[in-house]
Structure 1
Amino acid sequence: MYKAILIDDEPLARQLIATFLQPYTQVQVVAECNDGFEGFKAIQELQPDLIFLDVQMPRVNGFEMLELLDNPPAVIFTTAFDEYALKAFEAHAVDYLLKPVSRERFDKAMQKWLQQAAAKNLPAMGQLLENDIYEGYQHRIVVKDNGMIRIIPAQDIYYIEASDDYVKIFTSNGTYLKKSTLNHIEQSFDPKQFVRVHRSFLIPVSQLSRIEPYEKESHIALLHCGAKVVVSKSGMSRLKTLLGW
Structure 2
Amino acid sequence: MTTALLADDEPQLLEELQQLLAQAWPELEVVALARNGTEARRLLDELRPDVAFLDIRMPGIDGLALAPLAPARTRLVFVTAHAEHALAAFEHAAVDYLHKPVTPARLAATVQRLQAAAAPRAELRFLQAWTGNTMKLLDVGQLAALRSELRHTRVLSQGGENLLLRTSLGELMEQLDPQLFWQIHRGSVVNAGAIERIERRDDGELWVHLRGVAQALPVSRAHRGRFRGM
| Number of residue equivalences | 136
CA distance in structure 1 between the aligned counterparts of 2:121 and 2:49, rounded to whole angstroms: 14
Matches of 1:55 and 1:120, distance apart in 2: 31
Q: How far does residue 26 in structure 1 lie from its aligned partner after superposition?
A: 1.6
Q: Which residue of 1 aligns with 2:7?
A: 7
1:73-152 pair list within 5 angstroms: 73-119=74-120, 124=170
| CA distance 1:15–1:88, shift in 2 (3 Å) | same
The Cα offsets for residues 23-71 of structure 1, whole Å up to 9 and x where unpaired, read as 3222000000011111111111111000110000111111112232352
Q: Output aligned runs, 1:1-245, within 5 Å.
A: 1-23=1-23, 24-71=25-72, 73-119=74-120, 124=170
CA distance in structure 2 between the partners assigned to 1:123 and 1:36 by the alignment:
24
Q: Structure 1 pair 44/66, CA: closer, same or farther in 2 (3 Å)?
A: same
Distance change in 2, residues 1:71/1:21 (3 Å): same
Compute the displacement of 1:102 (Å): 0.7
One-letter amino acid of the counterpart of residue 96, structure 1: Y
- CA change 1:123–1:38 in 2 (3 A) is farther
**Which residue identity lines up with residue 54 of structure 1 in the other structure?**
D
Letter in 2 for 1:100: P
Aligned alpha-carbon RMSD (Å)? 3.1
* Long gaps (5+) in structure 2: 123-167, 172-185, 188-202, 205-214, 222-230
Larger RCO, structure (CA 8 Å, separation 6 or more): 2
Say whether the 8 Å CA contact 2:54–2:63 is kept in structure 1: yes
Query: Secondary structure at 2:3's aligned position in 1?
Result: strand
Percent identity over paired residues: 34
TM-score (norm 2): 0.52
SS in 2 for 1:18: helix
Write the distance in 2 (CA, Å) between the matches of 1:94 and 1:64. 16
Amino acid at match of 2:99: L
TM-score normalised to the size of structure 1? Answer: 0.49
Structure 1's unaligned 5+ residue stretches are: 128-144, 147-162, 167-176, 179-245
Q: Alignment partner of 1:124: what SS? A: helix
1:123 Cα offset (Å)? 7.4
* Residue number in structure 2 paired with 1:193: none
2:2 partner amino acid: Y
Change (3 A) 1:67 1:91: closer
Quick one: distance in 1 between partners of 2:105 and 2:70? 30
Structure 1 position 165, deviation (Å): 5.3
Q: Is the CA contact 2:5–2:52 (under 8 Å) kept in the aligned structure 1?
A: yes
Q: CA deviation at 1:164?
A: 6.2
